[in-house]
Amino acid sequence: MTLRSTLRSQLRQNRNALTQTQQESAALNLFEQLKQNLDSPLTQLKANDKVALYLANDGEISPHHICNWLWQKNIDTYLPCINGETLVFAHYHDKCEWQKNQFNIAEPIDKKPLTGTEMQLVFMPLVGFDVLGGRLGMGGGYYDKTFASRKSHLVGLAHECQKVESLPIESWDVPLDAIATDSLYLKTNKI
């Protein structure tokens, strides 16, 4: 087992050990971190911007408070849908029809999904992160392949318990612009 695989397993256990009450508290604190920090991309959104987020799965920190705030501001939201080895983004609204992908994760049905380059801001889940802004995903490379061109503002979302001192970074790992948790907002300055 590689170091990345070992870390992935350990960090997934950490976030899955959180109770439902801890998960909800973390989701609210995450939203407050993003809403109150002047460097946060939430403070810079405009009406026609397109924002991608995700439905929390496998203990991931939930962006549902972020989503509700975006909907109140009439900002279009999108969810990732697997499209081969990359992602496309389906419009997310209260009347979506749904389907399950090969990982049994719900995806909205959208006949004209958008590409990653059409998203101004992307909130993505992380398995782990380090203080230098390194990220560890689930291992499929979907986000890395989708955002290799680096046209979108990428913000990783995680629980504080997913932070490690240092991650082994690979050449294909797309750097993040920032990382937000339930207790911090970190600009990575990697771009």
> The domain containing residue 14 runs over which residues?
3-187
Q: What is the per-residue pLDDT across 64-73, written as a single tens digit (0 to 9) for each? A: 999 999 999 9
Domain total in the chain = 1
Q: Which residues lie closer than 8 Å to 160 by C-beta, 6 or more apart?
A: 26, 181, 182, 183, 184
Q: What is the pTM of this model?
A: 0.93
Q: What is the per-residue pLDDT across 117-126, written as a single tens digit (0 to 9) for each? A: 999 999 999 9
Q: What is the CATH number of the domain that holds 118?
A: 3.40.50.10420
Q: Is the Cβ–Cβ distance between 125 and 56 less than 8 Å?
A: yes
